[in-house]
Amino acid sequence: MLTIVIASYGYGHLAAHCIETVLAQTLSPEKILFVDDGAKDCLHLPSFYPQLDYVFRETNFGIVDNFQDMLLRVNTQYVMFLGADNWLRSDAVELLSLQQTDIVTYDIVVTGELKEEIIQRVPGKTHPYHGDLYWDRQGGHHGSMMYKTAIGKKIGYSKNQTEHPQEDWNLWDEMINLGASVSSVNQGLLYYRRHKENFLKYSVKANLASMQRQGKAIQEFTEAI
């Protein structure tokens, strides 16, 4: 009843690791869609993982249009988007499948070369965890939350240029406005890899806005970069 969409742009060197963790789930998703959004560095994957369905874009759609197009291709009850640079704990799908709400969120383990950057982005929200950082997301959203496909399609992905710049914020806000029910799995099921490539995806403007929302001084952010 779940489709996992693995999205990649320039993560051809990491994508196999992500795919392996999805295929190794104790309960398999019904379908796995993989999209390369125009980087063309994932063309080797079908020969290794023919059981996935692939979309290879000739040009870059950008996050919003890419996610929206992939969402429209999903026909299972639930959907979850997963960045190809991240990975899942082996029992993630099994634990998520026990929930029956419109949206299911869960905790995150932040890892990777630049994991310490998350402390500045969300001060006071993480704590040390086996050499990484544990991010409690109970009652909160993130880009890899599991949600009912029909509700997501009613809203669609779009870019909110006001308070929250990320496309998944808008989806979350509008689903809540529609009265979507939410449950949380209080375990770290997603390993969120912080590295140079995804750090650079955040514009200076977006980072400053995030710091201001968290009450951090602009000068502290400037010194950090």
On average, the pLDDT of the chain sits at 88
Percent of the chain with pLDDT over 70: 84
Report d(CA 178, CA 147) in Å as an integer.
13
Quote the pLDDT of residue 146.
Answer: 98
Q: Where are the domains of the chain?
A: 2-224
Quote the pLDDT of residue 139.
Answer: 81
C-alpha atoms less than 13 angstroms from C-alpha of 31 in its C-beta half-sphere: 16
Report d(CA 85, CA 129) in Å as an integer.
20
Report d(CA 19, CA 32) in Å as an integer.
9
Give whole-number Cα distances, 189 to 5, 86, 193, 214, in Å: 16, 11, 13, 25
Which of 32-41, 85-94, 139-148, 162-171 shows the lowest mean pLDDT across its residues? 162-171
pLDDT reading at 220 higher than 90: no
Which of 40-54, 135-149, 160-174, 191-205 shows the lowest mean pLDDT across its residues? 191-205
Q: What is the pLDDT of residues 9-30, one digit of tens each?
A: 999 999 999 999 999 999 999 9
Position 195 confidence tier, pLDDT thresholds 50, 70, 90? confident
Quote the pLDDT of residue 163.
Answer: 54
| 90 vs 225, more confident | 90
Asked if 109 and 136 count as a contact pair (C-beta separation under 8 A), the reply is: no
Quote the pLDDT of residue 166.
Answer: 67
Quote the pLDDT of residue 126.
Answer: 96
Tokens representing 5? Answer: 């969409």
| 218 vs 58, more confident | 58
2-224 CATH: 3.90.550.10
3-state secondary structure at position 26:
coil
Report d(CA 60, CA 36) in Å as an integer.
9
